[in-house]
Chains A and B, each alone.
Chain A
Amino acid sequence: MHYILLIISAALVNNFVLSRFLGICPFIGVSKSTDTAIGMSMAVVFVIALASLVTWLLNHYILVAFGLEYLQTIVFILVIAFLVQLVEMIIQKVSMPLYQALGIYLPLITTNCAVLGVALLNINLKYDLLESVIFGTGSAVGFGLALTIFAGMREELELSSIPKVFQGTPIALITAGILSLAFMGFSGLVK
């Protein structure tokens, strides 16, 4: 039960994009089409899940053991960069169209504050290994959910007649704000 609440909290109540406002870069950049959004979401879930696992292990068994907690940021970034590079290679091999569609945003997952945020939050909230991985995966699923919903909305917006002043990024940001408001409805679901 605790774990289910953890997932709901990570994915919906404290959605990384819509409540914590982290990971906005791919949120705006990759949400032009639902297909790309889903591809990106899967890549992010993979990276965050693994990152949560590896960073927690590294932190617990090496950094803490040697008293090197101050190296968390550097080491976590190192691990995340490595994982993203791995994911890039895999995607390029498995699906070249997706690789090309994601373009620059794939390596940008490295600098995605949501990924580093999850890794650091796991430490700050003092989760154990299982909780870390579940929290990480749940957050990533929440990220993917927000991204896919937003992509769907933007696809509809493509077909609408938007006043020239709002075309492009302005209407996207306004829509993101409204979506964020909508997700506030989840607050209070989990204590």
Chain B
Amino acid sequence: MLIATLVVGAIGAVCALILGISLVTFAVKMDAREKEVVEMLPGANCGACGFAGCAALAHEITVNPEAPMACPAVKEDTIKAIAALLERDMGSLEPAVACVRCKGGPQEAPSRYEYVGPRDCRSAQLVAGGPKVCQYGCLGMGSCVTVCLFDAMAMGEDGLPHVNIDTCTGCGKCVEACPRGIIALVPKTGTYCVSCISEDAPKDMKKICSVGCIKCGICADVCPFEAITAEKGKAALIDQDRCRKCGLCTGVCPVSVITGRTVPEKARIIPGACIGCGICEQVCPTEAVSGRAKEPYSVDPGTCIGCGLCLAKCPADAIERYNA
């Protein structure tokens, strides 16, 4: 028994010694932070991020300052810890999802010829710029659906691709695959999007597409956060950093081209902290806040659209968000 233990122990010790020496001889230089990031990631090597494994994703995040946090399995505080380690703001690590900026399916946007060829949008684009009259709209052949590694895209009955935001990891393959640049990556946490990138003149839009942006600019006028740019001759564009998901633009758009996903959050006033200044009532776009001077104000949850403007403007930090 003793001899057995000694023998195995001795063999183990020799192996360990040789390995120790090799560790030094064959050392590979790696960014120390990268190693830490690898350790912070789940380590499942599942590939959901679109990379070959956690090590590859860690490398990408460390080396590329624009790389999003593509890992769907990682927790909020881990993202914060990685952000602190790499000294980057949350924005660049925020999970993104794909957004298809076109609502013009075969019903809404006519074709100018019958296309015969490979069932692929890029191949169709090669034939005189695609069968659709609209040179900016979705060709509906599903190249984006085919390239998706996570089955997060599917062709709908309306002839347009739809993104499953729960399974989408924001890897960006569909963005690359679309020959017209219709798909963009937007933050996962609820967003509003103008579903059109047309640059055709407003007067031509009628025969080009019934749901295309007519560049009227009403949405830009109505937005309380100045988040929408309506450049001349181009479709309206929503700045995702400024958008507070209030949804007012969807209400005023004459062609209903703006789509959005609101977060189910609302505002409420913390009674103990409220100083009754009334700023919140002044800024509220839907008149959901009411109260009397010097007394705690209150928010009507039925009217509140969760835009967060009151929260931003409150001098006493007396307003909080909650999941409605």
Contact = CB atoms under 8 A, between A and B. Distances in A.
A93 B45 contact: no
Contacts of B15: 78-79, 81-82
A96 B28 CA distance: 9
Interface stretch (B6-14, B120-128, B235-243, B300-308): B6-14
Nearest to A82: B15
Nearest to B14: A82
Interface stretch (B49-57, B66-74, B203-211, B246-254): B49-57
Contacts of A103: 45, 52-53
Interface string B24-56: 001110000000000000000100000011011
A58 B18 CA distance: 16
B19 interface: yes
Contact of A68 (B7, B18, B28, B45): B7
Contacts of B56: 100
B24 to A, nearest CB: 10
Interface of A is mostly: helix
A79 B53 contact: no
A113 to B, nearest CB: 21
B28 A93 contact: yes
Interface in A82-133: 82, 85-86, 89-90, 92-93, 96, 100-101, 103-104
B4 interface: yes
Given A71-B7, A93-B26, A101 B52 contact: yes
A81 B16 CA distance: 11
A181 interface: no
Nearest to A90: B26
A82 B18 contact: yes
A71 B7 CA distance: 10
Given A86-B19, A100-B52, A78 B7 contact: no
B22 interface: yes
B56 to A, nearest CB: 6
Contacts of A74: 8
B3 interface: yes
Interface of A: 58, 62-63, 66, 68, 71, 74-75, 78-79, 81-82, 85-86, 89-90, 92-93, 96, 100-101, 103-104
8 contacts: A66-B3, A66-B4, A78-B8, A86-B19, A89-B23, A90-B26, A93-B26, A103-B52
The 8 A-B residue pairs with the shortest CB-CB distance, nearest first, are A82-B15, A89-B26, A93-B26, A89-B22, A92-B28, A68-B4, A66-B3, A103-B53
Given A74-B8, A104-B53, 11 more contacts: A68-B7, A75-B11, A78-B8, A79-B11, A86-B18, A86-B19, A89-B19, A92-B28, A96-B28, A100-B52, A104-B45
